[in-house]
Amino acid sequence: MSEREKVTLDEGDDSDKRVKVATGAFLRTGTVISVEDFSNYPGEEVKRFESGWAPELCLIFIIDDGYTKERKFQISAWFKRDKNTETITGWNEWNNAVKRFIEKTTGEKCEYYADNFSIPTELLQKTVGKEFQFVKYITAGTYPDKTTGEEKPSYANWDKIFKIDEPIDLIKEEFSKDCEWLMSAKKKAGYRYDPGAIRKNDKGDGFNYGANKAEEKVKEQTNEIPDESVI
């Protein structure tokens, strides 16, 4: 793991040691323990989550987040299709979180098999043991406290990850570009960034939310595993 000092980030923690990206958004590090390819490639039996959602490209990682326990970290993306026939022709390159994760962690170009657009197993396995940075952000969703039953804000993982040595200023800039989309009403509450949900006495940071307008044509890449915990 990195030498960056780790602290527990609960709602009452005002420690200056937090690596803050924006209000209610904090930087974390993770190390890949294992990876499962949950993609639905052409010609294969369809995989579905309990909700019924069948993703197109999807990877589920078990990571060591360096805090309390192993966690699931899920990313998804979409196939590219012919506009007239809807036939799959490749991967959608724009904002492809799957491609980005593999390339950022392995340092290798992410290529797929031409016959069914699947990821080579040996390439996926190269992500195991690799460390990366990611952002957890507060959402409009809530979860009941196991002890008190009180509703508390839930957090979600931003699926755009970074190399372990990429600077915080770059990460803040990238988060700014995605803010309007993350705050979009099109996203489910458990994945919609809601900086207003942070505690009232938060000092704020002058962050320019929604400085960059999101493209309307982008599909929501839903995470099926909300993180019902404080960061």
**53-62 pLDDT, tens digit each:** 999 999 999 9
pLDDT in tens, 20-75: 999 999 999 999 999 999 999 999 999 999 989 999 999 999 999 887 678 899 99
| pLDDT value, residue 186 | 84
Reported pTM:
0.76
| pLDDT value, residue 18 | 63
Location of structure tokens 């990313």: 75
| pLDDT value, residue 68 | 66
Q: Is 176 exposed, middle or buried (0-12, 13-18, 19+ CB in 10 A)?
A: middle
At residue 190, the 3 state secondary structure works out as helix
Q: Which residues pair with 48 in a beta bridge?
A: none
Query: What b/e sequence results for 27-43 when a residue is b if at least 16 CB atoms lie within 10 Å of its CB, and e otherwise?
Result: bbbbbbeebeebbbbee
Assess whether pLDDT exceeds 90 at residue 15: no
pLDDT in tens, 98-134: 999 999 999 999 989 989 999 999 999 999 999 999 9
